[in-house]
């Protein structure tokens, strides 16, 4: 079987479809609206947004497959000279209503250049979790699930990609990680001693991990009691999420700089967020506990 861009992007499209169905099922009320869009330079996407669900306050599940000439900005960003590119992927950010359900992000993507003489390709992606309140048992479950997926493909993947996530999902100016991390990987290609087929199988397994894992967190926490204090804390944590996405996130910056579809890129921003000057949680509160765990290098398992 030839693992070509059509096969990969078709699979991404099915993944989007499958995840949306599962999220709707677990939410029990919300439905994804769909926007098909075209990219002026080539290709396009399907953006799916769920708003005001029972569990999901705002969630986006985006698919795109774009191609065309590589602009100078894009070349710089990926550190390579090439004339034609193809890029496909699925990106997800879910902001739940209940502060005890975590925010989650997932991305799987494939990239290739289309120059005749030397074609270059790679996979990238990852899943990371941003609980407003860190539940250490759930953090363990989350990382165990990711480790299990990684271990099926390579004994070094989890350690390497977990560290990559810690380093990537880091808010430098706050000296905080965005959440409890997860796995992050990029530029996976045949220099990894794996075939394209093997790497695609890994990426598929990562993609397929998303829905069952997040459904568990939705189900377990959607009826957790909360009041104004917890909701305000959630807004503040979402403020940090906004800071990360607008200041650091490479996908967001790349998208905005290369004239991507703004509404699809910024679907990651929450419906409401807050900032309080110099907010400090009460000593020994659950907010303070969470802050104390937003560090790199924690072994959650």
Residues marked as catalytic:
105
Residues 6+ apart with CB under 8 A from 84: 67, 68, 69, 70, 113, 114, 115
Site string for a copy of itself, 5-44 (x = CB under 8 A): ------------------------------x---------
Shortest Cβ 47–a copy of itself spacing (Å): 8
Of the residues 76, 272, 285, 292, which one makes contact with a copy of itself according to CB under 8 A: 272
Q: Which two tokens stand for residue 54?
A: 């029972």
Q: Does 225 bind a copy of itself (CB under 8 A)?
A: no
Strands 170-171 and 121-130 turn out to be unpaired
Asked whether 143 and 134 are in contact (CB, 8 A), the reply is no
Q: Does 271 bind a copy of itself (CB under 8 A)?
A: yes
Judged by CB under 8 A, the stretch of 66-74, 139-147, 155-163, 264-272 that binds a copy of itself is 264-272
Q: Does 174 bind a copy of itself (CB under 8 A)?
A: yes
CB neighbours of residue 189 within 10 Å:
14
Q: Does 239 bind a copy of itself (CB under 8 A)?
A: yes
Shortest Cβ 95–a copy of itself spacing (Å): 10
Strands (E), 72-153: 84-96, 103-113, 121-130
Where is 38: in which H helix or E strand? strand 32-38
Asked whether 109 and 123 are in contact (CB, 8 A), the reply is yes
Whose Cβ is closer to a copy of itself: residue 46's or residue 267's? Answer: 267
3-state secondary structure of 297: coil
Of the residues 120, 274, 291, 298, which one makes contact with a copy of itself according to CB under 8 A: 274
Q: Does 60 bind a copy of itself (CB under 8 A)?
A: yes
Q: Does 70 bind a copy of itself (CB under 8 A)?
A: no
Residues 6+ apart with CB under 8 A from 73: 257, 258
Asked whether 12 and 89 are in contact (CB, 8 A), the reply is yes
Shortest Cβ 268–a copy of itself spacing (Å): 9
Binding site for a copy of itself (CB under 8 A): 35, 49, 51, 58, 60, 172-174, 235, 239, 242-243, 246-247, 253, 256, 259, 262-263, 265-267, 269-278
């Amino acid at each position: 079987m030839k693992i070509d861009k059509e096969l990969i992007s078709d699979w991404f499209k099915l993944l989007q479809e499958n995840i949306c169905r599962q999220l709707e099922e677990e939410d029990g009320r919300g439905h994804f609206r769909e926007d098909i869009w075209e990219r002026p330079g080539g290709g396009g996407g399907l953006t799916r947004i769920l708003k005001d669900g029972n569990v999901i306050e705002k969630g986006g599940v985006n698919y795109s497959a774009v191609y065309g000439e590589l602009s100078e900005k894009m070349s710089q960003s990926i550190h390579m000279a090439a004339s034609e590119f193809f890029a496909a992927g699925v990106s997800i950010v879910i902001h739940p209503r209940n502060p005890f359900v975590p925010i989650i992000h997932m991305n799987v993507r494939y990239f290739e250049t289309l120059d005749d003489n030397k074609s270059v390709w790679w996979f990238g992606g990852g899943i990371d979790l941003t609980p407003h309140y860190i539940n250490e048992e759930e953090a363990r479950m989350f990382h165990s699930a990711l480790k299990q997926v990684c271990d099926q493909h390579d004994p070094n993947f989890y350690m390497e990609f977990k560290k990559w996530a810690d380093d990537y999902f880091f808010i430098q100016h706050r000296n905080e990680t965005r959440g409890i991390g997860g796995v992050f990987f990029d530029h996976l290609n045949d220099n990894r001693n794996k075939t394209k087929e093997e790497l695609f199988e890994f990426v598929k397994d990562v993609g397929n991990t998303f829905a069952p894992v997040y459904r568990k967190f939705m189900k377990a926490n959607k009826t957790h009691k909360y009041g104004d204090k917890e909701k305000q804390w959630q807004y503040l944590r979402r403020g940090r999420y906004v800071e990360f996405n607008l200041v650091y996130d490479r996908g967001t910056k790349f998208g905005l700089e290369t004239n991507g579809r703004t509404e699809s890129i910024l679907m990651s921003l929450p419906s409401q967020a807050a900032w309080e000057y110099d907010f400090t949680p009460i000593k020994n509160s659950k907010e303070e506990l969470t802050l104390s765990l937003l560090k790199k290098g924690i072994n959650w398992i």
